[in-house]
Structures are given as structure tokens and as C-alpha cells.
Amino acid sequence: MDWGMANRLAQLIQPDGHALFLPIDHGYFQGPTRKLEAPGKTIKPLLPYADALFVTRGVLRSSVAPGNSKPLILRVSGGTSMVGKDLANEGLTTSMEEAIRLNASAVGISVFVGSDYEKESLLNLAKLVDDGERCGIPVMAVTAVGKELEKRDTRYLALACRIAAELGARVVKTYWCENFEKVTGGCPVPVVMAGGPQVNTELEVFQFVHDGIQKGSIGVNLGRNIWQNEFPVAMIKAIRGIVHGKATPGEAQEIYDSEKGKKGRRS
């Protein structure tokens, strides 16, 4: 691995081999998402506890202070929206030259395995990997499912992750699922969790994050589970406790409960 590629990956994946990425790229297809209407305000108290920020170039330039940031994973795919015909019909929206200009540590792209646009999204990934390898910038592939949430099962996610790795992704972001070890075990590059099932309590989030770490994930790329929580700072501290501190779900709950009475609440 070239020095530049290795250096950028080391910025993202910490010395303990784990990572906590904070995504705020949701607006590229959802618009002003709840509690992300003002991205700069949302992330300000959370940045100290994140290892990297997953963001579009527009929000980066408008909402993230250059002197007070974290390593960047730049979202470079898009072109569709929630009101369009098919979320899977994405293209590349941002060049590798722009990623270099913005000092990105990595770039991120969605792939839609099994959709009508499977081929197009996978070829987009392959092209991006070519550009990234030439410039020393790692590519994170996101195994997106669009509006078809039922695809979040072990067999599908294992298939999608392996294909992304085969095409050259250096990191794969995917959903947690039951028997998650079958997903990580079949993927030869690091896997981070994008989320899991719809849950009603913080403890349930801590449980699937802990399970995923135990079964081979290097960390998380969690957004809404953190910044839509009533106590987002408490939430990110608790999740960081699992990812980097080897906390159990119960211990993470204790961190959350002890922190939420402090300045972790956002109106």
C-alpha cells in the first residue's frame, strides 16, 4: 500500500483498529432532515467524539469550520432524491480533484446491488476506485438499499459487501443484521456499521453496535441514532465507549445516563 493511502486510512481507523464515523450527508437525497436542518450547529458539540465526518462538499464548505474539523470522508455520489423515481439511479457528483482540493481522507459512494441500476452503480464504484488508487485516496463503498428496507438481511448484505471489496473499496459501510459475522467474515476489507433495525430505546442501539463489534465490524457510521437523539452528546459518548472503550451495552447505558444530565441536551 502506498504511503499516502496508508496515511489517509490511519487518519480514519484509529490505532486500536476501530473507528467512529459521523455521517451528516443525508440531505443529498432527503433534503433538510430532522435535527440536521442546520448541520454546523448539529455537529459542533459532537465533533470532539468523532473520528471522521462523512459529508458532502456543499455542507462542508458552508457549515464546517476549516480550523476545527476532523478527517473527512467526502460523499461523491448522488443525483437522485426521495421524491424521484428510483434512488438507485445515482451518478458521480464530485471529482477526485475536488476531493484533493478539500483535503479529504477518503471518498464515499453508494452501490445498489440487486437494483435496476446495479451495473451502473458498481461501475461508478470501479471508476472511483481507479481514480482513488491513482491519487492515494481510499474509497468507502456504502451498500445502499434505497427504499427497499427488507433487503437488510444477512445473505444480501454479505453479497453486497463482498462485491464492493472485490471492486476495490478499501472500507465498506453496511447495515447491521442478524448473524453479522457472516457479513464481516466474507468481506476482506474493514466493515463499519451504518445502522440496524428500527429500535425504540438507546439500549437497543448499544446492543446492535456491541454485537457488530464483537462479530468483526471495526466500528460505526451512525448519524440519526446520534444527532436525532434527545441527548446527542451523551449518545455519541456512549457509542464511543463501545467502539473504543470495549464497553458492554449495559456500561454504555450507564455512560449515556450519566452524561445526559450535563450539556448533552439539545432543544
Residue 237 is among the residues annotated as catalytic for this protein: no
The length of the chain, given as a count of residues: 267
- From the candidates 35, 173, 237, 260, which is the catalytic residue? 173
Residues labelled as active-site residues: 173
